[in-house]
Amino acid sequence: MEHINLVETFSEFKEFKNIDRETMMHIIEEIFRHMLIKRFGTDENFDIIVNIDKGDLEIWRNREIVEDDNIEDDNLEIALSEAIKIEPDFEVGEEVSEEMKLMDFGRREILTIRQNLIAKIQEYEKDNVYKKYREKIGEIITGEVYQVWKKEILVLDDEYIELILPKSEQIPSDFYRKGDTIRAVVSKVEMKNNNPAIILSRTSPVFLERLFEVEVPEVYDGLITIKNIVRVPGERAKIAVESYDDRIDPVGACVGMKGSRIHGIVRELKNENIDVINFTSNPSLYITRALSPAKMTSIKIDDENKRAEVFMKPDQVSLAIGKGGFNIKLAGRLTGYEIDVYRDTDTDFEDVDLQEFSDEIDQWIIDALKEIGCDTAKSVLEITVEDLVTRTDLEVETIKEVVRILRTEFE
C-alpha cells in the first residue's frame, strides 16, 4: 500500500511521551473513519487495520455483490461483472473485500488527515497531562530548572512536562540556575489557552507538611497528626502536632535526635526557623506554647472575641514579638487568637518609657526598638548589645550609644 508520508507521520507520533500504543491506534482509526464518513456517508462497511510499528495502515471496503442492473449504492454494492474480475468464482449475494489505496483519496485529503492526526494527538496529550497533574495536587515534585525568568521559573519533570514556579511561590532567598534540581509542591492545575498550566509552590504550608511526611515516618504513617501549619516563607514557621499514642512524643519525633530530622527540612526551606509545638484544645496552654521561646507570667482569654492579653516580664516581650514581629503574628495565626503582649508592670515600678528619651535618641531608633517589644529603658538594658543588634538590624555603635544614654538615667 502506498503510504505517502504516513510512515513519516507515524514516526512523529512516537515522539509523544504520554500516549500508549493502543490509544494511538484508536486515535488514528478514529480520524480515518471520520474521513470515510465525510466521503462516503458511512464507515460501517469499512475495516481499518493500523500497524504503528511498521508505519502501516490498511483500509478494506466490504460490498455486497448484486446483478449489474440492481446497484443502488456503489459504496455498499458492487456489480457482479466487476466482482468476477477480482475473483472469477464470486456469485451474487456474496461479499467482496477490496483494499483501498491511500492515494485514491488525493494529496489534499492526505495532508488534511495528517494535520488532523497530529492535532488530535496533541490535544489528547495535553488532556492527559492535565488529568495526571490534577491527581498530583498537594504532592512534592522534583524537577530540573530549564529556564529562569524574572517573574517565574520553567521546570521540567522526568517526562519533560513543563511546570511553572512563579516568583510569588518562591522562598525570598531561593536562587536557581538552569540545570539545578528543584523540589516544590503541585499547587494548582488549570487549562490556559487550551494548554495545561501546572503551578508549583515552595511557600505553601502544604509543602512544609509534605516535607515532614518525607522526613518523619510517624507523620507519614499517621501516628502523628499535623493539626496546623503557618509560615512566613524563609523566615519562620510554626507547626502544631499531636499523637493519639501516649508512647510517642510528637515534638521529639518531628525534631529527631539532635535535630537530625528537622535539619533537612530547614535546609530545604533556606534556613527557615521552624517551631514544633504540641497541639492542645486548651487555649491558654496553646497560646503559651505558640509564643515559645518567650515565657509569660499570666494570660487573659476572651473566647467570644478570640482575643488574648498576655503579660510577661520586660525581657520576654521582645522574644514574644520576635524579629520583624513574626513570632507573635504566627502565634496568632496558629491559635486563631488576636494576641496582645503587655509588660508585667508589677515587676518594675521604676522604669522609664522609651519615648521620654526622644530628645536624645532619634525617633526612628526608638521605633526600631519598639518593634521588637522594647518600649521602656529597662526592657532595652536587660538585653545584650549583640541581641539588640541582631533583632533590630541597627548598627553596633548606634546600640551602644542608646545603651549609654539609658544607663545614665539610672545612675
Does the residue 165 lie in any domain? yes
Q: Which residue has the higher pLDDT, 345 or 383?
A: 383
Provide the domain limits for residue 188: 137-201
Does the residue 42 lie in any domain? yes
Per-residue pLDDT, averaged over 111-128, amounts to: 82
Tens-digit pLDDT profile for residues 248-293: 999 999 999 988 999 999 999 999 999 999 999 999 999 999 998 8
Beta bridge partners of 165: 153
User: What does each C-alpha distance from 167 to 150, 174, 210 come to in angstroms?
Assistant: 8, 9, 21
CA 120 to chain centre: 28
CATH number at residue 405: 1.10.150.20
Last residue of a domain, one of 166, 201, 236: 201
Do residues 10 and 110 both lie within one domain? yes
Do residues 128 and 13 both lie within one domain? yes
Does the residue 344 lie in any domain? no
Per-residue pLDDT, averaged over 292-317, amounts to: 88
Per-residue pLDDT, averaged over 126-152, amounts to: 93
Do residues 128 and 142 both lie within one domain? no
Does the residue 336 lie in any domain? no
Does the residue 291 lie in any domain? no
Please, is 63 exposed, middle or buried when counting C-beta atoms within 10 Å of its C-beta (0-12, 13-18, 19+)? Answer: buried
Do residues 94 and 67 both lie within one domain? yes
Confidence band for 15, pLDDT divided at 50, 70 and 90: low
Do residues 141 and 259 both lie within one domain? no
- Cα(185)–Cα(207) distance, integer angstroms: 5
User: What does each C-alpha distance from 141 to 200, 207, 228, 328 come to in angstroms?
Assistant: 8, 10, 22, 32
Does the residue 331 lie in any domain? no
Does the residue 311 lie in any domain? no
C-beta separation of 189 from 198 below 8 A? yes
Do residues 393 and 373 both lie within one domain? yes
Pairing verdict, β 56-66 and 77-79: parallel
C-beta separation of 406 from 381 below 8 A? yes
Task: Name the residue type at position 107.
Answer: R
Say yes or no to pLDDT of 344 above 80: no
Q: Which residue has the higher pLDDT, 226 or 72?
A: 226
C-beta separation of 202 from 176 below 8 A? no
Q: What is the DSSP letter of 52?
A: T
Confidence band for 382, pLDDT divided at 50, 70 and 90: confident
Residues of the chain above pLDDT 90, percent: 44
Q: Which of 180, 133, 130 is nearest to 155 (CA)?
A: 180
Mean pLDDT lowest for which of 77-91, 227-241, 340-354? 340-354
CATH number at residue 228: 3.30.300.20
Please, is 297 exposed, middle or buried when counting C-beta atoms within 10 Å of its C-beta (0-12, 13-18, 19+)? Answer: middle
Q: Which residue has the higher pLDDT, 143 or 74?
A: 143
The structural domain count of the chain equals: 4
- How much is the pLDDT for 347? 47
Do residues 110 and 180 both lie within one domain? no
CATH number at residue 181: 2.40.50.140
Does the residue 316 lie in any domain? no
Coil, helix or strand at residue 258: helix
Do residues 149 and 122 both lie within one domain? no
Do residues 92 and 124 both lie within one domain? yes
CATH number at residue 78: 3.30.1480
Say yes or no to pLDDT of 13 above 60: no
Instruction: Give the residue carrying C-alpha cell 502544631.
Output: 240
Do residues 41 and 98 both lie within one domain? yes
DSSP assignment string, 216-250: -HHHHTTSEEEEEEEEETTTEEEEEEEES-TT--H
C-beta separation of 388 from 394 below 8 A? yes
Do residues 17 and 102 both lie within one domain? yes
Give alpha helix (H) positions in 296-346: 314-321, 326-335
- How much is the pLDDT for 378? 85
Do residues 120 and 44 both lie within one domain? yes
Phi first, then psi, for residue 261 (nearest 5°) are: -80, -40
Cell of 264: 533537612
Say yes or no to pLDDT of 11 above 90: no
